[in-house]
Amino acid sequence: MNKELIRLRINGQACEVAVPANKLLLDVLREDLRLTGAKRGCDDSSCGCCAVLVDGVPQLSCVMLAASYQEAEITTIEGLADGPRLDPLQEGFSVEAGAQCGYCTPGIILVAKALLERNPNPTREEMAAALSGNLCRCTGYMQIYQSVEYAIKKLRTAPTEAAVPGERR
Ligand code: FES
Ligand code: FES
């Protein structure tokens, strides 16, 4: 199949990649750009494992044509940490065991990130509603809510700080 050169902006960086016009963003991320955080967990847009942020809004990359998003700012899980400093949500999922097998975790963290951007203090019901498109087979969701609540507290007390793995606080 013919390829075309497309320009994407991912995690703050511009990149160019030659792909078929009908290639899905999830496959471009994973196969062409080696950003494997976003996962394919289903065949019918029902799991949320492939979620990325497009201009800050969660979208399913398994149904997006990469070529259609050349004007957008795309954020994947790889773009959340600031160098060695984890995003408070990543720290929360580590501390509160919100990730078990981890397959759903990148999508859930990105959806939670968008939630906290628009609502810094969501209730559990609001978290459940925001995450209703993200399936997790492992945790029962309780640890996921606790992980998000960890991030909420962290952002409230130290909005500009995030943890470096292994750093004592
Ligand atoms: S892979 Fe399941 S919703 Fe995209
Ligand atoms: S941690 Fe395994 S599916 Fe969510």
pLDDT tens digits, residue range 90-149? 999 999 999 999 999 999 999 999 999 999 999 999 999 999 999 999 999 999 999 999
Q: What is the DSSP letter of 85?
A: B
Q: Give the per-residue pLDDT at 133.
A: 98
Fold of domain 88-157: DNA polymerase; domain 1 (1.10.150)
Q: Give the per-residue pLDDT at 169.
A: 46
Is residue 10 a contact partner of residue 35, using CB atoms and an 8 Å limit?
A: yes
Q: Is the CB of 103 under 6 A from ligand 2?
A: yes
Q: Give the per-residue pLDDT at 150.
A: 98
Q: Which atom of ligand 1 is nearest to the CA of 39?
A: 1
Q: Which atom of ligand 2 is nearest to the CA of 137?
A: 3
Site to probe by mutation for ligand 2, drawn from 39, 47, 139 as the one with most ligand atoms within 8 Å of Cβ, is 139
Q: Is the CB of 49 under 6 A from ligand 1?
A: yes
Secondary structure class of 8 (helix, strand, coil): strand
pLDDT confidence tier of residue 162, bands split at 50, 70 and 90: low
Residue 167 in this model has a pLDDT that exceeds 80:
no
Q: Give the per-residue pLDDT at 161.
A: 52
Q: Give the per-residue pLDDT at 130.
A: 98
pLDDT confidence tier of residue 1, bands split at 50, 70 and 90: confident
How far apart are alpha carbons 41 and 93 in whole angstroms? 20
Q: Give the per-residue pLDDT at 104.
A: 98
Enumerate the domain spans of the chain: 3-79, 88-157
Q: Which atom of ligand 2 is nearest to the CA of 102?
A: 1
Q: How far is ligand 2, taken at its centre, from the CA of residue 100, in Å?
A: 5
Closest among 15, 117, 144, 14 to 57, alpha carbons compared: 117
Instruction: Sheet with 57-60: list strands edge to edge.
Output: 13-20, 3-10, 73-75, 51-54, 57-60
Computed over every residue of the chain, the mean pLDDT equals: 94
Q: Is the CB of 140 under 6 A from ligand 2?
A: no
* CATH superfamily of domain region 3-79: Beta-grasp domain (3.10.20.30)
pLDDT digits (tens, 9 = 90+) for 24-65: 999 999 999 999 999 999 989 999 999 999 999 999 999 999
Q: Is the CB of 107 under 6 A from ligand 1?
A: no
Q: How far is ligand 1, taken at its centre, from the CA of residue 39, in Å?
A: 7
